[in-house]
Chain A
Amino acid sequence: MYVAVKGGESAIENAHRLLADRRRGDRSLPAITEAQIVEQLSLSVDRVMAEASLYDPGLAALAIRQARGDMIEAIFILRAYRTTLPRLAVSRPVDTAAMRIERRISATYKDLPGGQLLGPTFDYTHRLIDPALVGEPDVPEAAVAEVTGEPVMRVADILAHESLIELEPRVDAEPGDITREPTEFPMPRAERLQSLARGDEGFLLALAYSTQRGYGRSHPFVGEIRIGLVEVEIDVPELGFAVSLGEIRLTECQMVNQFKGSAEKPPQFTRGYGLVFGQSERKAMAMSLCDRALRAAEYGEDITAPAQDEEFVISHCDNVQATGFVEHLKLPHYVDFQAELGLVRRLRANYDAARAAEPEDDSFEEAAQ
């Protein structure tokens, strides 16, 4: 238990001043700007927005700068800022089929309508440190090619033609909101997806990896990953129609999983879904694997692995909660510890007394056994 203490005000003040100094670093170097972070460390910005559950690139960049690049600290700051703003509206569900595509790949179909569009990917790079990036090298403009205008069809719709994949029921029920309602298990899938979308990338990645290694295997294929810009629209009552607020970048992963069938359901492919702010492919893939693993009960599968355990996954995927509870251990626990110290001293005294009372030569006891 944490007990409030007073004192150390000037130490704290000077520590924060020192933090500001170290954050600025060598004054002979120019200070980094938020715009530079947004433009040149954009995937860090995307991760902070996703896990803070707040889409605002400029604020996320400021949080990264304030946190000296500590991602979880930046996520914490942005998540905290979120709580200071009123919620003005709820958007219409974004239409990822109408996404302005920046990347789209499928591991299940080679030739598919719209094609395989690699976009700005690290895939097929050699992962070798590139000394040519040092300094300010001239970077050539991106190559261009003629746009075919062919619609970029969803992979799920291709499988749906053969009825070989489960269909998502298109109902417009009002989804629960984990930021407004207490956490209860079992949790509806809508709230699980909301939790996973802001869950820690490393935690979800490790769980996703565990399913591949046999802890809740789900035979996954990447049906499709798409990254791009979607329109955000809200209904404005005084106007009587939906109004566009602009676009946001999202990454969507459709994982397609083998399912042998059950008494109720014929053999078919089932789906795991990932949708994440920004260009966050690894996170979207991990999210879709975790989503599918957490649907085990729906398909009558045995729940044997951590990734299938809803309460375990959802309760521990939030890095702001996790860091709060782990890091609180460093706060003063002086009184608590004094109590434990007294207890351990008493136990030790009893233990020593009991040992002293035992016969000096224990060979008798050993012989008796």
Chain B
Amino acid sequence: MTAIEAASADLSSAQHERARRLALLARASRDELEAAWAALPVQPSVTALRGPETGLVMLRGRMGGDGAPFNLGEATVSRASVRLGDGSVGHGQRLGGDRQAARLSAIFDALAEGGDRVAVDALCAAIAARVEADAAREAAETAATRVNFFTLVRGED
């Protein structure tokens, strides 16, 4: 999540918080989203503003990693925008073709925008814990493959 935090350094704290929430919702599994939806004490009425729909995002790289941009290739992306009964609007977007997950993400974003934080904060905390645990385990597995060089005694000495 460091990239998100660095990129959103100049945002207001509300924008920063929303960017973080959307990044976590994009990483949520369909099961996590459906369980959180089923657990809501009151399920809001939902009006679709856009989608849910699946399309493409053109992914860009930079020449040499740090030069001018170029088009690398596309990825599937699903997105949805919804309005809840209280008028709050939310957006969901994620890589892949899971439109239902994008729609549920948009609903949770809208709930948080409408001030109904408890369920959304709990969901985001659970996603963050899982994502961070996975990343930490993967990093530890990679670290175990680090080469520690040692110098052999050379014959000519």
Contacts and interface: CB of A to CB of B under 8 A. Distances in A.
A111 B147 CA distance: 9
Contact of B68 (A59, A120, A175): A175
A254 interface: yes
Contacts of B140: 144-147
Interface string A71-99: 00000000000100111111111111110
A171 interface: yes
A58 B61 contact: no
B69 A116 contact: no
B59 A232 contact: yes
B152 interface: no
Contacts of B93: 234, 236, 243, 245
Interface size classification for chain A: 35 or more
Nearest to B143: A145
**Interface residue SS majority, chain A:** mixed
Interface in A47-77: 50, 53-56, 58-59
Contacts, number: 242
B85 interface: no
Given A97-B66, A118-B147, 12 more contacts: A54-B76, A85-B76, A88-B53, A90-B57, A118-B145, A148-B143, A156-B65, A171-B67, A176-B71, A177-B58, A190-B68, A234-B77
Given A241-B11, A241-B15, A82 B6 contact: no
A178 B68 CA distance: 16
B17 to A, nearest CB: 11
A240 B91 CA distance: 13
A93 B60 contact: yes
B57 A93 contact: no
B145 A94 contact: no
Interface string B83-103: 000000001011111000000
A94 B70 contact: no
Interface of A: 50, 53-56, 58-59, 82, 85-98, 100-103, 110-111, 115-121, 142-148, 154, 156, 168-179, 189-191, 193-194, 197-198, 230-234, 236, 238-248, 250, 252, 254, 271, 273, 275, 277
Contacts of A98: 2-3, 6
B65 A86 contact: no
B149 A100 contact: no
B55 A242 contact: no
Majority secondary structure, B binding face: mixed
A56 B60 contact: no
Contacts of A145: 140, 143-144, 146
Given A168-B64, A248-B75, A93 B145 contact: no
A111 B149 contact: yes
B60 to A, nearest CB: 4
Contacts of B138: 100, 102
Contact of A275 (B4, B72, B137): B72
Contacts of B136: 147
B7 A190 contact: no
B129 interface: no
Contacts of B69: 93, 172-175, 190
A146 B27 contact: no
Contact of A53 (B60, B70, B73): B73
A273 B74 CA distance: 19
Interface stretch (B18-26, B35-43, B114-122): B18-26
Contact of B73 (A117, A147, A197, A273): A197
Instruction: Report which residue of B53, B64, B68, B74 has the largest number of chain A beta carbons within 10 angstroms of its beta carbon.
Output: B64
A319 to B, nearest CB: 14
A246 B95 contact: yes
Contacts of A277: 72-73
B142 A55 contact: no
Nearest to B26: A246
Nearest to A277: B73
